[in-house]
Structure 1
Amino acid sequence: MRVLRGTLDDPVADRERTGTLLATASEGTPGLRVWTPARQVAFGRRDARADGFDRAARIAADRGFRPIERDVGGRAVAYAGETLAFAHAIPLDGGGATGDGAITERYDRTVETVVDALRGLGADVVAGEPPAAFCAGDHSVRVAGGGKVSGIAQRVRADAALVAGCVVVSPADARAVAAVSDAVYDALDVSFDPETVGSVAAAGGPAEPDSVARALEDAFVDGPWGDGSRRVERVGAER
């Protein structure tokens, strides 16, 4: 599996590097990246079409979060500096690989992978999310009885799929994500409760992103998704 490590300071250039995983997956090579993006709010396609998008983008920028638009679906996601992102690029062989059943299967397997990785670090997490959470969706991970830790989205084309998500690690990041998301979602006229933002640490896991990133990388490479082999490429500096 092709594995990218590191982060570029420019969010646009950084996401372009993630996009190369999809290109090589279309040629048959699966890829993975788990990293801490620079401080930003990544808006989904529905956000960009909303009447309040320009105001939401200004609010994010005024609070020190660079507004960018992402290719996968879902609503706005804030990355506060130590918030993890992951992207798994999967080659598709045609057939039913782009159908609803295959899409749901990839979502379910990704949720299971994230849950297993975080539980291995001592975090009490489960599949699902509380009402009015950020980037609301059926395929999420939450603290058992608590806030949302991870949201997952998917981009599918004929020859490859990119399953991507975020993981809120520390309580400090959870507070920052909640604060900027509250203002951004209000501008977008989307229901959001800042109390629904959880973290790996709140679930009993570590509060620093490095160990969580490595656990997620191992879970994708060594689990059902991979064969245990990885070809590591440096993208930028470790954050």
Structure 2
Amino acid sequence: MSNTWQGAAELALALDPPSHDAAAELARGIALLREVAVGARPPTLRLYRPSPTLAFGQRDARLPGFAEAAAASTRHGFVPLVRRAGGRAAAYHRGCLVVDHIEPAPDAVLGTRARFAAFGDFFAGVLSDVGLDARVGEVPGEYCPGEYSVHGRSGGTPAVKLVGTAQRVVAGAWLFSSVIVVEDSVPLRAVLADVYSALGLEWQPSTAGAAEDLAPGVTVAVVEAALLKAYGAVVGFGEARPTNLP
């Protein structure tokens, strides 16, 4: 497999330990992006299992039901945050794997759409490697809809969203952030149902699932190992170390 995103030949690998500060986890990605942009850090691949978080989009925060949606999120044990990237509300927790891929670029905006397509194919391939029927494309009625979402199917069951992706660019670098939903989909559906109801947004709860729902036995550890193997086929890795959450 070639380097599908046509970027760095080597990535510093940052494996963050679990934390209990959802806001710091989210902010750290932006801090790393700015460090890479000014050359203070090499191209970086950061992996972590997130605290329970309800990440709202900027448009969500302007809706009349936002305060009610944030309160619903808190009741379910998910910290409500407004992310700087686009999209709609998305929920994730320790049963998910967040992948932040950060690289310098003289024109970070250039290639934005191509990166969505390339990373969508890449993550679909990773999930296929662990036994899922994973494909790229928006699922009708999915939460936080996106043209390059990765979804999965099992037999005749409805498709479920398994990977959501977003990008953030600054002068000199880009961040491609992906959330892979692997385990424990029940609390995710529950919080999303109340949040989307409060926001007045239509969606189909059946689109919220996890990899283990389609392929029992798949765990976050299994997916992480497959992801690193797939990355290792196209890039070299620097030292694996935590990124020291502030």
TM-score, normalization by structure 1: 0.88
Deviations 1:68-87 (A, max 9, x none): 12121111111133122211
Report the Cα offset of residue 91 of structure 1: 1.2
Q: Report the number of matched residues.
A: 228
2:176 corresponds to which of 149, 156, 163: 163
Q: 1:121 to 1:115 in 2, by over 3 A?
A: same
| Letter aligned with residue 80 of structure 1 | H
Separation (CA, whole Å) in 1 of partners of 2:33 and 2:216: 31
CA-to-partner distance for each residue in 1:83-142, whole Å, 9 max, x for gaps? 222111121122xx414xx11111111111111111111111111132111111111000
Shift of 1:196: 0.9
Q: Distance in 2 between matches of 1:206 and 1:228?
A: 29
CA RMSD of aligned residues (A): 2.0
Determine what percentage of the aligned residue pairs are the same residue. 32
Matched residue, 2:7: none
From 123, 127, 136, give the equivalent of 1:127. Answer: 136
Structure 2 residue 246 is matched with structure 1 residue 228: no
Name which of 32, 35, 38 aligns with 1:27. Answer: 38
Question: Does structure 1 residue 211 correspond to structure 2 residue 222?
Answer: yes
Q: Which residue of 2 aligns with 1:106?
A: 115
What does residue 2 of structure 1 align with?
Answer: 12
- CA 1:157–1:124 in structure 2 vs 1: closer, same or farther (change >3 Å)? same
Structure 1 partner of 2:50: 37
Q: Deviations over 1:17-56 (max 9, x none)?
A: 2223212321352111222101121111111121111110
Which moved further from structure 2: 199-208 or 66-75? 199-208
Check conservation: 2:185, 2:210, Cα contact below 8 A.
yes
Question: Is the alpha carbon distance of 1:147 and 1:80 closer, same or farther for their aligned partners in structure 2, counting shifts above 3 Å?
Answer: same
Counterpart in 1 of 2:204? 193
Question: Match for residue 143 of structure 1?
Answer: 152
Distance 2:119 2:83 in 1: 19
Q: Which runs of 5+ in 2 are unaligned?
A: 1-10
SS in 1 for 2:186: helix
1:77 aligned to which of 85, 90, 100: 90
List runs of 5+ in structure 1 lacking aligned partners.
none
Matching residue's letter, 2:31: T
Question: What amino acid is aligned across from residue 211 of structure 1 in structure 2?
Answer: V
Map Cα deviations across residues 200-234 of structure 1 (whole Å, 9 max, x no partner).
Answer: 123326432112123223433x254xx22222122
The normalised TM-score by structure 2 is 0.85
Worse overlay, 150-159 or 26-35: 26-35
